[in-house]
A = this chain, B = another copy of it.
Amino acid sequence: MNNEIKQSAILLIHCNDRPGLVVAITDFIHNNGGNILYLDQHVDRENGVFFMRVEWDLKDFVIQREKIAEYFSTLVGDRYGMNAELHFSDEKPRMALYVSKMAHCFYDLLARYESGELEVDIPLIISNHPDMKTAAERLGIEYHMLAINRENKQQQENKQRILLAEHNIDFIVLARYMQVLSDNFVKDYSQRIINIHHSFLPAFPGGRPYHSAYERGVKIIGATSHYVTAELDAGPIIEQDVVHINHKHSVEDIIRIGRDLEKIVLARAVRHHVHHDLLVYKNRTVVFE
């Protein structure tokens, strides 16, 4: 095994499907000295849309890093009407963590961060409660307590925007953050806010899903991580998983069992986002694994 870190470029592309797309993209990479490391492609035949994730080694690539986006767009992307996003494997995304009082997802992400599993920088934690301050400080992460009530919501969001900008935050993870963000905020961070909802959506959206699951007498409970959109719990789903329950489980048991599910499902979603494995199209995700 080779542990040396390769500098590689990642292109995420989607456009209307038509013949010749794969060849156009791979020729661009190959003819300029790039060796393709991963290539994943998908055609949504229902909608006639082409999706690709391609990653190539930059070692012998003749186009300079900062020029790749421009060259690709001029030589390939524009001709085919492609939507393309370019990332580099050696750029660590900067993540802000939002948390309220429930600690399990928060602790789990921090443990992954501390152990190096989560390849991000976390310069900023925002909470509407003071509870997690000590944990944040232990890891040297700035912690801002911004209590929210009906009156100050807009004002506190403005403070958040300033903090996010100051820390060059790329994306936000809501680790059981119990506040609904404003539509404007959500729009400005489109596909950059990941939430964990404690049900298998679209079942049990909104508040107290475990209580509703108990009431309905379901035999499985689930958790869903999704990008936040203006409509509550209706954004593109990134990951879902479930666990079986039975009549012996009280609401408290369900909450406890659900915690393990939530932290795993959220961590998987964050990983996909960080690895640029994700494309969103018409409120559905394409997840290249």
A178 at the binding interface (Cβ < 8 Å): no
Q: Verify B248–A289 contact, CB threshold 8 A.
A: yes
A259 to B118, CA, bound (A): 13
Q: Verify A239–B219 contact, CB threshold 8 A.
A: yes
Q: Which residues of A201-235 have CB atoms within 8 Å of chain B's CB atoms?
A: 201-204, 215-220, 222
Measured CB to CB, the nearest residue on chain B to A28 is B23
Interface string of A101-121 (1 = CB under 8 A from B): 001100110010011010000
A86 at the binding interface (Cβ < 8 Å): no
Q: Which residues of A1-23 have CB atoms within 8 Å of chain B's CB atoms?
A: 1-2, 19-20, 22-23
If over half of A's interface residues share one DSSP class (helix, strand or loop), that class is named, otherwise mixed; here it is mixed
Partner of A22, one of B36, B215, B283: B36
A58 to B195, CA, bound (A): 45
Partner of A20, one of B30, B237, B283: B30
- Please name all residues of chain B whose beta carbon is closer than 8 Å to the beta carbon of A201 when the two chains form the complex: 203, 216, 218
A163 at the binding interface (Cβ < 8 Å): no
A160 at the binding interface (Cβ < 8 Å): no
A1-B46, A36-B22, A103-B111 known; A256+B202 contact, CB < 8 A: no
A72 at the binding interface (Cβ < 8 Å): no
The segment from A37-45, A62-70, A181-189 found at the interface with B is A37-45
Q: Verify A217–B202 contact, CB threshold 8 A.
A: no
Q: Verify A220–B218 contact, CB threshold 8 A.
A: no
Interface string of A124-156 (1 = CB under 8 A from B): 000000000000001000000000000000000
Q: Verify B284–A250 contact, CB threshold 8 A.
A: no
User: Nearest 8 pairs between A and B by C-beta?
Assistant: A217-B284, A203-B203, A23-B30, A219-B240, A19-B35, A107-B111, A247-B286, A23-B26
